[in-house]
Amino acid sequence: MTVTALPADQVLRRLGEFDTIIDVRSPAEYTDDHLPGAENWPVLDDEERRDVGAAYKMESAFDARKRGAALVAHRIGDHLAARVRDRTHDWRPLVYCWRGGKRSGTLAWFLDQIGYRTHVVDGGYKAFRAALLADLDDLPRRFDYCVICGRTGSGKTRLLEALSHAGAQVLDLEQLARHRGSVLGAWPDQPQPSQKALDSAVWQTLSQLDAARPVFVESESKKIGNLRVPEALIETMRTRGRCIAIEMPDAKRVELLLEDYHHLTTDADAFCSLLDALVDLRGREQVRVWQAQGRAGRFADVFLDLMHRHYDPIYLRSMQRNFAGFATASRLTLANGGAAALATAAASLRAERDAALTAGLPT
């Protein structure tokens, strides 16, 4: 048998054909980003990779290859014993490394010698990343988006989750980016993924959706935390998306914010530190007032004032400026952010969009 090298653009279309996608890079490389669904079978760990790389620079390529070969051979033996022993003859793996193919080629050779029909990614992760980015310039434009709009605390993210449970197609960008998109929006104890990982997650989600059905998405900014929304996606959402404006009484918005940002209400110092980012926009004196309320435990007052003085005005200006469909948005009022109200709204929205689709109307 012979190991087959597949061009990256073909791999992009054929990921589902392989029983296992194997990333042989180091754990840190894998964590930064990897092919969708890939398992990490590192042939060098992070420290070993650094040591071999240093040997290339400080000693010679020959000495580095000798050192690397011994480490790789030992690690591949471990993988074969632990991960391949129970694989049947028809198992079809796809293997890749960073670019040059030495690490992936070594494991692929062993798998081929055993008798498995093995493929490698020609050009490795680097080539796949380039093919994915090229596809992200076109893929988002194939869908019709229903853009869920609404002021801070109006339940947009919760409604997306309810829509997903109701069987609608949903692209939850804040979930993928692990951030709520505001100054206070970092997830507790969860760092954001890398930009590469977000791009891959968006591509993977969209590639699994049906372009004949609408996709519900939240009205995001170009950046969510420190990460950028793919350009073709945000452009299509803004220019062609059909907006649905969610309304909720202010008191219920505050209740929702107190629930979603509970982790901040238990750490007043961290909360006040985050508010410092608003000094340039709202002035030091106003920020000090909010910080004093926070330290006094008056978080409901802080959230209400933040809504009225900061988030609501910014939201309105942004929506009017950036989303072409906002002026003609349909309206949906939520009594509160509870499960029953959200489920009713989600069922109504999905039925409305499905009826429009059946009738051949814009969704």
Q: Which are the catalytic amino acids? A: 97
What distance in Å separates the CA atoms of residue 121 and residue 48, rounded to the nearest whole number? 23
What distance in Å separates the CA atoms of residue 11 and residue 17, rounded to the nearest whole number? 9
- Are the beta carbons of 43 and 14 closer than 8 angstroms? no
- Are the beta carbons of 183 and 278 closer than 8 angstroms? yes
Helix locations, 243-332, DSSP H = 250-260, 262-265, 268-275, 279-282, 284-295, 299-306, 312-322
What distance in Å separates the CA atoms of residue 64 and residue 17, rounded to the nearest whole number? 36
What distance in Å separates the CA atoms of residue 39 and residue 30, rounded to the nearest whole number? 9
DSSP letter string, 87-131: --TT--EEEE-SSSSHHHHHHHHHHHHHT---EEETTHHHHHHHH
CB atoms within 10 A of CB 251: 11
Is the backbone of residue 360 left (phi > 0), alpha (psi -120 to 50) or beta? Answer: left
- Are the beta carbons of 12 and 132 closer than 8 angstroms? yes
Return the structure tokens found at 161. Answer: 């989750």
Residue 217 three-state SS: strand
**At 16, which amino acid appears?**
G
